[in-house]
Amino acid sequence: MIYCIFAKKNMEYNFREIQIKWQKYWRENKTYKVDIDKTKPKYYVLDMFPYPSGAGLHVGHPLGYIASDIFSRYKVHKGFNVLHPMGYDAFGLPAEQYAIQTGTHPAITTEKNIQRYREQLDNIGFSYDWDREIRTCDPKYYKWTQWVVIQLFKHYYDNDLNRANPIKFLEEKFEKYGSSEVNAVHSEHEEFTAEEWQKMDYKKRQEILMNYRLMYLSEAYVNWCPKLGTVLANDEVVDGFSVRGGYPVERKKMKQWLLRITAYAQRLLDGFATIDWPEPVVEIQTNWIGRSEGATIFFEIADSNHKIEVFTTRPDTIYGATFMVLAPEHEMSLEIASPEYRQQVSDYIQWAKNRSEVERMAEKKVSGQFTGSYAINPFTKQQIPIYIADYVLIGYGTGAIMAVPAHDSRDFAFARHFNLPIIQVVQRPNEDNIPVEEWSESYDSKEGIMINSGIINGLEVKDAIKTIIEKIEESEIGKKKVNYRLRDAIFGRQRYWGEPIPIYYKDGIPHALSIEELPLELPEIDKFLPTEEGEPPLARAKNWKTFDGYPLETSTMPGFAGSSGYYLRYMDPHNEWELVSEKAVNYWHNVDLYIGGREHATGHLIYARFWNKFLYDLGLVPKDEPFQKLVNQGMIQGRSNFVYRITGTNTFVSYNLKDKYETQKIHVDINIVNNDILDLDKFRKWQPEFENAEFILEDDGKYHCGWEIEKMSKSMHNVQNPDDIVEKYGADTLRIYEMFLGPIEQAKPWDTNGIEGAFRFLKKFWKLFFNNKNEFYLSDEQPDLNELKILHKTIKKVSDDIEKLAFNTAISSLMICVNELNNCNKRKILEPLCILMSPFAPHIAEELWHLAGHNDSVTKQSWPVYNDAYTQENTFNYPISFNGKTRFNLDLDINLNNEQIKEIVLNNENSKKWIEGKEIVKIIIVPRKIVNIVVK
């Protein structure tokens, strides 16, 4: 082969040239294109696709992408057929808010941002198969989002089958048996017989079916954000403010589309057993789903036919229930109020209603109102007063509680405030019998023995719960019940830039569009605002009707709709006839490795699981869980720099001298600071107010800046753009450095100071392939044992570490390898090393691979095979310790037995010093680990 040796002069590591050359080569040769290949095992590596925001990527964004890219490339080397796609979550509020302000169509903003993202991503050299790119705002894509939504509309959840089932089967059951034979998840329940069903008109039947559909319309309390003009799902609201924009959110009763995700609550919990997810995410989702076991119990109301149902997890404490509380929004609140209290009750309800979430959270003062009515405790038969209070939430359980002040802290506070009786029913273990009147807090624990509790006296709490539930069910005053905190997800948004909901109204009754009418494309409108009548923006569209003239739904879908099933679409992105073909989904199954941020734990990651389980029920996907292994990359924090202005002057004092003055700490742009040394000229030019700045420098004549770790943000002037790093050091350096920073899951600060190390490493690696005349040179000489040992040690460590996603230590072992190889230029060592480097630094690896005389891509080479024959040692360097402290080391043959080791160690010169004048108590020898001599 002639092209083995290139005698080019001055073969410096020119990363810019190399980068452009190979990115072009990969693009033109479609190096990363992937198709179904049954001769190879599949592997699916997915990144959470980005929302293309106007700000572009900062160095934190690619962290997960680099990790997944390394893993994908590694899997390819290992012989897997790897699906590694990328796309854009392109519907969303920011582009629409921008449209409202500027009139620019969100589609234009989004397209522009996508271009920018693509450029930035391309710069880093990812191995995505771009032929599979998807965008959630593309009608060809959202056709299938709409299609799934229609399926949700057309299915209900059957508790007997424990899966989704077509709604027509529900109709058949109603037709034949009425409601009695149906065990399904529903919102409002209505009992009827088959005859009654048969007599109902179409509209009535549809109303009933709506209570069962998995996408359903319901009058419910929702999070309403007036500023955004839309409702929001629970995960889109934090502390009473919208996540997007940070505007206040109110509660409002509205008719809304919802997804019946609660039907899947138990399966969402059960699924954790089959997937490999980080513990914290499982924990967060488990809390969000919030399963609790207890009972619902009916309380009769004195002098009335009404009954009120409460939910409790502590039915054992029912003998201590001394009052009852209803949520203000409870349908019975006003109804049960006695005439003399009606006005006050009504006032309280009004007051509670007008209180914002924020107010409610800020002040936790006890408030409530007596209704004048009494309930009857079914066990004590005592009359207990009924209150309304806003500490009871309408959205949880039944919106009513039996209050047991002795054993619930909130009830306790309420009872003290309103002077209500407190009866202790659980005896603390080892109690010193303080009378209840003297308690300063309730006793909420489930440890103890029941007292004052009639039939369950003397039982342990656990047994008492079991016994009392049996009793409750026997006397038909209630039943065992599992409750979930998870709420159904509000699915409509009164906004423009989202998928239109494929529903039309015929005589006010919602119907789904047929598949032929999909996609229902987003119409053009004159303004991106609600109509004067307060209708959502889509109501502005001309002819927002079906072909036969029926009005279409004007709400659009929320952000999570498009991202809930996108991983399926990558498997078969151009299929016009199906969401995904059977062939594709039966080959790719589900995502093997999913990398993304933890902030999606209660949003996307739960919706996607629900979505997938639903499709699984329909038989469309073979796996019940979408993401087999999940990894959360940690956040990259910013490293801010500061200058110190002497108060009231324009003089700035260096960090180590600042304590001598009274100073103001000011953020300074990290781009005019190098290794914490401020560039004075650039600083003067940075902002007009600093033009005439004076400096007090340190002894070295430099201005040292202070620094702090903060969130990366524009206002802190600490945003690091990946493009700048790529420009200055190259993509490979960026990739290596980001991975070398620390464990992938851990949050870590970005520190540009360290990047030189990664750059130097690549330069050193490059130099291995060149002789001292700077000519590319590989020797065909046989490697010696030491060189083989270095190589194979590295193969083992790098492979093991990549499998564990421990990229930081993998790189560290590559660094050690390059350091140890020193001037070795043997092909049999450097070519395998080049392949080991390729996932991390693909550009430089590809260049060197081709310089070495190959015509094919390094990315397609098989991973070097580890041979432990090369790493075998016949001696082990034992640490010899006395009383647990290592004093010296000794090379010993690994085949020696403990007796022999003991003999050698005790006779060693060095040992004498530590043994002399002391008694040897014990000698511990752990082969291939340590020798420890205990002396006294």
Partner RNA sequence: GCGGAUGUGGCGAAAUUGGCAGACGCGCCAGACUUAGGAUCUGGUUCCGAAAGGAGUGGGGGUUCGAGUCCCUUCAUCCGCACCA
Strand pairing of 215-225 and 230-232?
antiparallel
| Member of 879, 896, 902, 906 binding RNA (CB under 7 A) | 879
CB closer to RNA, 391 vs 439: 391
Total residue count of the chain as it appears in this document: 936
- By CB under 7 A, what part of segment 427-456 binds RNA? none
For residue 746, state whether it binds RNA (rule: CB under 7 A).
yes
For the bound state, the minimum distance from the C-beta of residue 877 to RNA, rounded and expressed in Å, comes to 4
Considering only residues 573 through 612, tell me which ones interact with RNA, judged by CB under 7 A: 598-599, 601-602
User: Shortest approach of RNA to residue 924 CB, angstroms?
Assistant: 4
Task: Tell me the residue type at 576.
Answer: E
Of residues 779 and 809, the one with the C-beta less far from RNA:
809
748 binds RNA (CB under 7 A): yes
If one asks whether residue 918 binds RNA (CB under 7 A), the answer comes out as no
For 85, how many CA atoms within 13 A lie in the half-sphere containing its CB? Answer: 22
Site size toward RNA (CB under 7 A) is 82
Nearest residue (CB) to RNA, 195 versus 279:
279
Identify the three-state secondary structure at position 371. Answer: strand
The residue among 462, 405, 469, 464 whose CA lies nearest residue 437 is: 405
Q: Which of 302, 361, 482, 894 binds RNA (CB under 7 A)?
A: 361
The residue (of 429 and 757) whose beta carbon lies closer to RNA is 757
Member of 209, 254, 269, 284 binding RNA (CB under 7 A): 284
Environment class of residue 624 by beta-carbon count within 10 Å: exposed (0-12), middle (13-18) or buried (19+)? middle
Query: Can residue 680 be called a binding residue for RNA (CB under 7 A)?
Result: no
Q: What is the DSSP letter of 282?
A: H
State which residue, 178 or 879, has the beta carbon closest to RNA. 879
CB of 401 to RNA, least distance (A): 5
The Cα–Cα gap between 631 and 512 comes to: 38
Looking at 185, 217, 332, 401, which residue binds RNA (CB under 7 A)? 401
Report if residue 29 touches RNA, rule: CB under 7 A: no
Least Cα distance to 389 among 360, 362, 426 occurs for 360
User: 482: helix, coil or strand?
Assistant: strand
Tell me the Ramachandran region of residue 52: left when phi exceeds 0, alpha when psi lies from -120 to 50, beta otherwise: beta
Is 841:858 a contact under the CB 8 Å cutoff? no
5, 136, 169 from 140: Cα distances, Å: 51, 9, 31
- Closer CB to RNA, residue 311 or residue 594? 311
Nearer to RNA, 494 or 794 (CB): 794
By CB under 7 A, name the one of 50, 64, 125, 294 that touches RNA.
294
* Comparison of 369 and 932: residue with beta carbon closer to RNA: 932
Cα dihedral sign, 393-399-403-407: negative
Of 529, 808, 853, 915, the one binding RNA (CB under 7 A) is 808
Judged by CB under 7 A, the residue of 454, 582, 757, 873 near RNA is 757
DSSP assignment string, 207-269: HHHHTTBSEEEEEEEEEEETTTTEEE-GGGEETTEETTT--B-EEEEEEEEEE-GGGGHHHHH
416 binds RNA (CB under 7 A): no
Judged by CB under 7 A, which of 877, 895, 897, 907 binds RNA? 877
Identify the residue among 99, 149, 557, 741 touching RNA (CB under 7 A): 741
Phi, psi of 878 (to 5 degrees): -80, 130
With respect to RNA, which residue has the nearer C-beta, 665 or 913?
913
User: Contact between 809 and RNA (CB under 7 A)?
Assistant: yes
Q: Does 369 bind RNA (CB under 7 A)?
A: no
Q: Which is nearer to RNA, 128 or 740 (CB)?
A: 740
**Residue 410 interacting with RNA (CB under 7 A):** yes
889, 898, 900, 908: residue in contact with RNA (rule CB under 7 A)? 889
Among positions 701-740, residues that touch RNA (CB under 7 A) are 740
Could you check whether the bond before residue 519 is cis, i.e. omega within 30 degrees of 0? yes
Distance CA 730, CA 840 (A): 13
C-alpha R_g of the chain: 35
* Residue number with CB closer to RNA (819 or 862): 819
Q: Is 288 in the site for RNA (CB under 7 A)?
A: yes
Stretch that binds RNA, among 40-48, 398-406, 428-436, 490-498 (CB under 7 A): 398-406
Spell out where 335-474 has E strands: 369-376, 383-388, 400-403, 426-427, 449-450
Q: Binding to RNA by residue 868, rule CB under 7 A? A: no
Cα separation, 693 vs 904, in Å, equals 72
